Structure 1
Amino acid sequence: MNSKKKWMILFFIGIIFLQFWCLRVAYRYPYLGIIVDQNPKQEWVITQLERVSIGSKIGFKPDDKILSVDGKRPEEHLTVKKYYSIEQADVITVLRGDKELTFTTRDHATSMTVDILSLLGEIIAFVFAFLIYSRLSKSRSALMLSAVFLNIGLIFMCLGASTRTDILAKGMTTSLVACLPFLFLQFLIMFFQERSNFIFSTRYMKYVYAAIGFSSLLQLSMFFPEANFKFYKIIYYGTMSFFIAGFIMNIYLLAHLYKKYRKSNDYLFTIIKTIIFCLGLSFCPLAFLNFIPRILFQTELAFSYYSGWFILFFPVTFGYLIMSKQLYDLDIILRRVFYTAVISVLPSAVLVAVNYFIFQKDATLKHMVISFTTTMVVLTFVTYSLEYFATRLEKIMFPRKYYLQQALKKIASALGSITNFRELRDIVLVDIVDILQVYGGAIVIQYASGTLEIISEGNIDEQDVKRRFLTGDWFDSEYTRTLIKGHEEYVSYLVMAKKKTNTFMNREETQWLSLIISYLSVSLENLYLIRKLNMKLLELASELPNQEGSEEYVWFRKTMFDLQEKERTRIATDLHDTTMQDIFFVQRKLKNLQKQMLNPDEHRQLKDILNHLELINMNLRQCCFELNPYLLKNIGLVRALQNLVDTESSLGDYEIQFVTEGKTTAMENLDYEAKRHIFRVIQELITNAKKHSQASRLFIRLVASGNEVTIHYEDDGIGFKPNSSSGKTVGRSGMGLEQMKGRVLHLNGQFTMESMTGKGVEVRIQIPIKEGIPT
């Protein structure tokens, strides 16, 4: 065991012993609070009865002459001799006028005010000391603040026994009180040294602590029989002088810092101003209401046990803010406390006035002032804490508002991950429909060309929405349309069906939807720019043939296509490893359940579910193949294309005729990248025909002749004007055409297309075999 642990163990043993000793004294003897002195006739007379003591309750009065204490003459009693007070006494005899009275203190319960306050202050101080030490042990200033709390905790620990004039407790209390302001001072110096370039010498502190240590040694002499009240009085006034000197040194340090940083408006100056206020509030009551009046006038202006509680204000505030990492918000918190106190003044005055006129017309001014102060403090605390408790209990008190805010946070966080328009449905629309409890919703994007793009969720008729946008017929509609973003190139709207409860949205839901729309407007603008930039990149990739472009263009095209393939492969892998596997396990469990079913109707229903799952599985498998055509490596280009054509023919309502001519071995001898580009070109031709051509027949011919591969494509669809600007508008299908051109040019090929409105499309692609394919 190292020396540090040994000292810690000894320290805790000492704390436990001191706690036991003080509790024994405090609960063995009641707090009498009898102050005595000798009159000119050398008689011991009661001069004062301390507040919150039980001396007056027992029956003692000022000017009573003390005849004996526990059967002894007064001057022979320990507490009278050393402190001019009567404590730790069981039987006291007094002379009142010509009548001799005997009082037994054991028959009276002790005054709990001082003891309860002391125990409460001790617990608060020790808890803060432990929390700061355990959480912020790496900070020297925090450790010093923990020592401040420990000092205050020990003062409160000894306070109960000290009021009973126990020599050990009284000596500990006076020494700790003298040390307290200097611990504050050292904490402030360390604190500002850690947070700025402030340098302040602390060499003198060792002399201060040495002087306080010497004073503590003098306290031990009170155990000697010869020590009396005159000696204690010197120690007592010395303690108060130390405290006031330490307080003045704190003020001097803060005044120096204030002067140094007053021309700056940074957080450090704000902290300095706040510390001045807090420190004044902590030390001024004890200094100006107790110690200074006691030195100058031998009396106190306020009860020291109450004013001493203000000492906790500064360290508790600082400790809480340091642990909660809100130190730089200290001035904001104090400003809030101040204004909540100001707001509480009028209600407090009204409550006290109502109470006076209705219930307590005979109340004294003192009672009304105490009532007003207490009411204002309570109202200030309640008003200040209202926001905190309302936030903590929001889920219970305002459940609708709470869930709306949680949904808002979720959507705001997820919007950053959106990369295309279709993701808006899963990230935004699903939550809007679910939270607002509407039948369905849609985000409609109307481009300048008149084209509509609709992203819907729930029970909403896209064709009906499209018709209403084209005709402008929104009267007597079951839908509500809200503008999201107006732009010169597009306009976006949020369309929602009616609520399932057939009610209107309340104010909270309307505000929530307004915030969602503001987020959507920014997100849609970003998505539009991404799509526009992507189209520009594709156009750039298809503009210059390789022989006319530089190496940078070749590298650019290759990088774009590689990134696309990687992303498609990633998505296909995710679908295969997650969704398809989940479907497989569900199918297996349902098949096991099917074997156990005897009811024919349930058996048939379960079979329908399994068939539907199998259909979903097939569609997912086809999606994976389209994203990642793994058959290219397994069976070659021609058979992979034939598989693609067969699948699309079975799913679509059009006929696809696929023909190969020439030496297919020439095609299969192409490197994998070239075959993948050819596959993607033909795949894109079929996809565009499926989406836009409205054709009933597609013809695709793949020919290998001489030194080139030729792709010939025809359809009998509606066609379009190839040179029209609408074909390249964001939101239309021009991006697929640019992709095909870019791939062909990347293979050093030629791309030609002929089309007229109403006459279908014809595409001819020629790709050389002997020339090197860019890699």
Structure 2
Amino acid sequence: MKINKKWMILFLIVIIFLQVAFLKVAYRYPYLGILVEQNANHQWYIAGLEKISIGEKLGFQEKDIVVAIDGQDPSKHSTVKNYYSIEQADSITILRDGKEVVFSTKEYATSMTIDILSLVGEIFAFIFAYFLYTRISNSKSAVMLSFVFSNIALIFMAIGASTRADVLAKGITMILVACLPFVFLHFLILFFKEKSSFSMPTYFMKYVYMVLSFFTFIQAIMFLPYANIQYYLTIYYGTMFIFVLGFSSNIILLIYLYNKYRKTNDYLFTVIKTVIIALTISFFPLVFLTFIPRIVFQQELAFSYYSGWFVLVFPVVFGYLIMSKQLYDLDIILRRIYSTAVISILPSVVLVAVNYFIFQKDASAKHLVISFTTTMVVLTFVTYSLEYFATRLEKVMFPRKYHLQNSLKKIATDLGSITNFRELKDIVLVDIVDTLQVFGGAIVIQYASGNLEIISEGNIDEKEVKRRFISNEWFDSEYTRTLIKGHEEYISYLVMTKKKTNTFMNREENQWLNLIISYLSVSLENLYLIRKLNMKLLELASELPNQEGSSDYVWFRKTMFDLQEKERTRIATDLHDTTMQDIFFVQRKLKNLQKQMLNPDDHRLLKDILNHLELINMNLRQCCFELNPYLLKNIGLVRALQNLVDTESGIGDYEIQFSTEGKTTAMENLDYDAKRHIFRVIQELITNAKKHSQASKLFIQLRASGEEVVIHYEDDGVGFQQELAGRKTVGRSGMGIEQMKGRVLHLNGNFKMDTMSGKGVEVTIHIPIKEGLLT
């Protein structure tokens, strides 16, 4: 709906030309407002004087006989011939009481209030049209509204010259006044089409514009020499009739929409009511106080210039709402203005009363009314805008509150991207501790089974927190415990130490914390559901053998394991490239510092620190290997497993016996994925034993024949009731077994476990060697 650039330039040129032409007329001649008629003797006499003209100030009176205009016969003056009015005249000679009197208009000011207000209205309307057209060009209704404003601006542009009976200005004014309600109608159709399901066709508008174009062509006859007052009156009344017809079309459309959406759409119904009110305020004075009385009684009840200003109400309301995107808030804005005005009444009365008692001698009724009105308007404005200014100045006036709100926005944004508890600690818990300026904080999840899961940040003792939960000791001021969410399967708490400033949290901080807890409640619920879903996926992957499922299950199982391996590799890479590298640089700097030290005690202290860093580095290296067993490719499955067993035996409180039997070449000939699954299964067996078995000896055997690979595992630990292993809940162990089952099933193998409380665990796994598993 955008206009071509060439047409826009042409439009601007025309606007400039018309502006210059109309200003030339308006500021060359004063508005005389003298209406004339002919008597029986064919003499021209003054029949009336317009209300806001200067004719009466010049001394003209009704019934004065007009003898000459600019020294010529009045019948030859264009404005008398065409409009029965005297305008654009420098001198007028009249006959009064048998004497001729010459009036000169040159010494009177040409511009009047009407011209200044028209110029202000023109500038205002053009600015609104520009912003609507350029800023909201993606909305057809906004573009059409810019045309409405352009229409109004051109009317105001032409008013000054039109009142002075300029032919071009009068023609443009009447054309644009006739078009205005139909452009409004077009805007209404597009607006409701954008904002609702209303889809009234707009094709009929081209026929409306064709009729208006024909009316414009008829207007052009006014420029011909034989145009007279009768022709002008026909066009004049025709313009008013067309305007009333367009106004009626708008009202009919709105009544139809009002009835259609009265009970179906609250928002749209509010908009329709707003449109009806704005349209009534805009057009009612012009239609019912000016045009209809003119058509019916040939007399206006209100001067058209004053009633015409109300036309601005409708486009101003919609222009503001569209540009500020507050269309839904109109009722709220009006309600706020009303509420602030009511609130301002009492303090206004008090201030006026104080004013009266102080200045009783000078206080008149008029003074008190003006004082009350002014005070109420000022207080209403201040009260209404208080929120705006308080928000703007909040950083200076309430720095702590401003900081808390920014932290709240950041945490609320971060919570939307969190998918696991590690991120909850690294992203959110850090901000909570820093914002509240406490030594440390922790989120504690207590499951229905009694297990506790703690994630902490800062200087807080997790063991002490766990002890307090077990003994339920929360009576001192060292720790505070706040409930986040109570659930039938878990209860979550936020535990915090005291503040670094050794003060209590103020009201704003408590309000902030309550909001954060409400956000955490939702986030923890989502994380719990993610865990639960992940547990279900693992169970699904461990229960359906390949031969019983479709290829979709095989694909699902493979994809799930691939994603796990990618995440482990990513974590291992991050540890190697960041933490381990940082430790390496610290070690190198400390070694250089050690060489420069002469004090034996300092030298020994640095040596202990270096040994501790080396131990951390070794643990990280082992962690990276467990996450990403790169030795599988370098040295093969058997030697990688032997390296794993040697490492675990060195750091554990148990003995591991690892042996192989049969054709090791058959094991090494397996493809990399199969070897990685076998490695992960044995790794998980050792991890479970380390965490839960309390065993002193582990026995792991890897056997291979031409047809299958067998993994046999035994320990002398405490074992468990096997029927309890099937009861999987979030927060309990047991998912490692599901992982092992899933991997074995993915290799088309068989998993068998035999255990009982107090009698250890025995696991036997058979993996057939098929052509697809060989490299």
One fold, TM greater than 0.5? yes
Label 1:213 to 1:349 Cα distance change in 2 as closer, same or farther (>3 A): farther
Find the counterpart in structure 2 of residue 500 from structure 1.
500
Find the counterpart in structure 2 of residue 552 from structure 1.
549
Label 1:71 to 1:739 Cα distance change in 2 as closer, same or farther (>3 A): closer
Does the alignment pair 1:217 with 2:216?
no
TM-score normalised over the length of structure 1? 0.77
Q: After superposition, what is the alpha-carbon deviation per residue over 1:82-139, rounded to whole angstroms, capped at 9, x for unaligned? A: 667676567889999999998876575844x444433343234334434554567677
The offset of 1:448, in angstroms, is 2.6
The offset of 1:463, in angstroms, is 1.0
Find the counterpart in structure 2 of residue 569 from structure 1.
565
Cα distance between partner residues in 2 of 1:551 and 1:606:
62
Cα distance between partner residues in 2 of 1:452 and 1:726:
21
Cα distance between partner residues in 2 of 1:159 and 1:593:
86
Cα distance between partner residues in 2 of 1:606 and 1:292:
102
The offset of 1:81, in angstroms, is 6.9
Note if contact 1:44-1:74 (Cα within 8 Å) is conserved in structure 2.
no
Label 1:132 to 1:595 Cα distance change in 2 as closer, same or farther (>3 A): farther
Which secondary structure state, in structure 1, belongs to the residue aligned with residue 441 of structure 2?
strand
Which secondary structure state, in structure 2, belongs to the residue aligned with residue 422 of structure 1?
helix
RMSD over equivalenced CA pairs, Å: 5.4
Find the counterpart in structure 1 of residue 451 from structure 2.
451
Q: After superposition, what is the alpha-carbon deviation per residue over 1:42-65, rounded to whole angstroms, capped at 9, x for unaligned? A: 7976965744x7789xx6567497
Find the counterpart in structure 2 of residue 149 from structure 1.
149
Note if contact 1:572-1:623 (Cα within 8 Å) is conserved in structure 2.
no
Cα distance between partner residues in 2 of 1:205 and 1:370:
53
Cα distance between partner residues in 2 of 1:489 and 1:6:
71
Note if contact 2:667-2:704 (Cα within 8 Å) is conserved in structure 1.
yes
The within-5 A match list for 1:201-600 is: 205=208, 208-210=211-213, 212-221=215-224, 232=232, 235-258=235-258, 265=265, 271-294=271-294, 302=302, 304-321=304-321, 329=328, 333-334=330-331, 336-337=333-334, 340-341=337-338, 344=341, 347=344, 351=348, 358=356, 404-405=404-405, 407-535=407-535, 538=538, 551-552=548-549, 556=553, 561-575=557-571, 580-581=576-577
What one-letter code is carried by the residue in structure 2 that aligns with 1:340?
I
Label 1:422 to 1:341 Cα distance change in 2 as closer, same or farther (>3 A): same
Which secondary structure state, in structure 1, belongs to the residue aligned with residue 498 of structure 2?
coil
What one-letter code is carried by the residue in structure 2 that aligns with 1:196?
F
Label 1:440 to 1:559 Cα distance change in 2 as closer, same or farther (>3 A): farther
The offset of 1:144, in angstroms, is 4.2
Find the counterpart in structure 2 of residue 748 from structure 1.
749
Label 1:567 to 1:352 Cα distance change in 2 as closer, same or farther (>3 A): same
Cα distance between partner residues in 1 of 2:85 and 2:372:
33
Label 1:480 to 1:560 Cα distance change in 2 as closer, same or farther (>3 A): farther
Note if contact 2:70-2:89 (Cα within 8 Å) is conserved in structure 1.
no
The offset of 1:445, in angstroms, is 1.4
Label 1:260 to 1:773 Cα distance change in 2 as closer, same or farther (>3 A): closer
Cα distance between partner residues in 2 of 1:390 and 1:564:
53
The offset of 1:248, in angstroms, is 2.8
Cα distance between partner residues in 1 of 2:770 and 2:717:
35
Structure 2 spans left out of the alignment, 5+ residues: 598-602
Find the counterpart in structure 1 of residue 600 from structure 2.
none
What one-letter code is carried by the residue in structure 2 that aligns with 1:442?
A
What one-letter code is carried by the residue in structure 1 that aligns with 2:749?
N
Which secondary structure state, in structure 2, belongs to the residue aligned with residue 15 of structure 1?
helix
Stretch of structure 1 that moved more, 386-395 or 497-506? 386-395
The offset of 1:173, in angstroms, is 1.7
The offset of 1:469, in angstroms, is 0.6
What one-letter code is carried by the residue in structure 1 that aligns with 2:341?
S
Note if contact 2:717-2:761 (Cα within 8 Å) is conserved in structure 1.
no
Which secondary structure state, in structure 2, belongs to the residue aligned with residue 242 of structure 1?
helix
Find the counterpart in structure 2 of residue 765 from structure 1.
764
Cα distance between partner residues in 2 of 1:521 and 1:172:
66
Label 1:343 to 1:324 Cα distance change in 2 as closer, same or farther (>3 A): closer
Label 1:592 to 1:220 Cα distance change in 2 as closer, same or farther (>3 A): farther
Stretch of structure 1 that moved more, 535-544 or 671-680? 535-544
What one-letter code is carried by the residue in structure 1 that aligns with 2:285?
P
Find the counterpart in structure 2 of residue 640 from structure 1.
640
Cα distance between partner residues in 2 of 1:258 and 1:535:
55
Find the counterpart in structure 1 of residue 198 from structure 2.
196
Cα distance between partner residues in 2 of 1:45 and 1:609:
113
Note if contact 2:352-2:372 (Cα within 8 Å) is conserved in structure 1.
no
What one-letter code is carried by the residue in structure 2 that aligns with 1:12?
L
Note if contact 1:178-1:239 (Cα within 8 Å) is conserved in structure 2.
yes
Q: After superposition, what is the alpha-carbon deviation per residue over 1:570-620, rounded to whole angstroms, capped at 9, x for unaligned? A: 2245346667556799899999999999x979xx99999999999888766
What one-letter code is carried by the residue in structure 1 that aligns with 2:476?
D
Note if contact 1:707-1:769 (Cα within 8 Å) is conserved in structure 2.
yes
Q: After superposition, what is the alpha-carbon deviation per residue over 1:213-262, rounded to whole angstroms, capped at 9, x for unaligned? A: 145224425xx5x8777765554444333323332333334345545666
Cα distance between partner residues in 2 of 1:272 and 1:576:
62
Label 1:202 to 1:351 Cα distance change in 2 as closer, same or farther (>3 A): same
Cα distance between partner residues in 2 of 1:114 and 1:592:
87
Note if contact 2:645-2:658 (Cα within 8 Å) is conserved in structure 1.
no
Label 1:727 to 1:623 Cα distance change in 2 as closer, same or farther (>3 A): farther
What one-letter code is carried by the residue in structure 1 that aligns with 2:174?
T
Q: Percent identity?
A: 59
The offset of 1:478, in angstroms, is 1.6
Tell me how many residue pairs correspond in the alignment.
Answer: 751
Label 1:723 to 1:407 Cα distance change in 2 as closer, same or farther (>3 A): same
Note if contact 1:541-1:553 (Cα within 8 Å) is conserved in structure 2.
no
Label 1:588 to 1:126 Cα distance change in 2 as closer, same or farther (>3 A): farther
Does the alignment pair 1:683 with 2:691?
no
Which secondary structure state, in structure 2, belongs to the residue aligned with residue 625 of structure 1?
helix
Note if contact 2:425-2:457 (Cα within 8 Å) is conserved in structure 1.
yes
Label 1:666 to 1:648 Cα distance change in 2 as closer, same or farther (>3 A): same
Does the alignment pair 1:122 with 2:118?
no
Structure 1 spans left out of the alignment, 5+ residues: none
Which secondary structure state, in structure 2, belongs to the residue aligned with residue 312 of structure 1?
helix
Label 1:234 to 1:738 Cα distance change in 2 as closer, same or farther (>3 A): closer
Note if contact 1:69-1:89 (Cα within 8 Å) is conserved in structure 2.
no
Q: After superposition, what is the alpha-carbon deviation per residue over 1:425-462, rounded to whole angstroms, capped at 9, x for unaligned? A: 23432232233333222111112332211111222111
The offset of 1:636, in angstroms, is 0.5
What one-letter code is carried by the residue in structure 2 that aligns with 1:310?
F
Label 1:756 to 1:620 Cα distance change in 2 as closer, same or farther (>3 A): same
Q: After superposition, what is the alpha-carbon deviation per residue over 1:685-732, rounded to whole angstroms, capped at 9, x for unaligned? A: 333344445667766554557976555556677766655569855323
Note if contact 2:541-2:557 (Cα within 8 Å) is conserved in structure 1.
no
Cα distance between partner residues in 2 of 1:612 and 1:60:
107
The offset of 1:284, in angstroms, is 0.9
Label 1:748 to 1:246 Cα distance change in 2 as closer, same or farther (>3 A): closer
Cα distance between partner residues in 2 of 1:618 and 1:55:
106
Stretch of structure 1 that moved more, 462-471 or 446-455? 446-455
Label 1:232 to 1:740 Cα distance change in 2 as closer, same or farther (>3 A): closer
Which secondary structure state, in structure 1, belongs to the residue aligned with residue 549 of structure 2?
helix
Note if contact 2:221-2:227 (Cα within 8 Å) is conserved in structure 1.
no
The offset of 1:483, in angstroms, is 1.5
Note if contact 1:22-1:161 (Cα within 8 Å) is conserved in structure 2.
yes
Note if contact 1:747-1:773 (Cα within 8 Å) is conserved in structure 2.
no
The offset of 1:491, in angstroms, is 1.9
Cα distance between partner residues in 1 of 2:414 and 2:100:
89
What one-letter code is carried by the residue in structure 1 that aligns with 2:212?
Y
Note if contact 1:159-1:173 (Cα within 8 Å) is conserved in structure 2.
yes
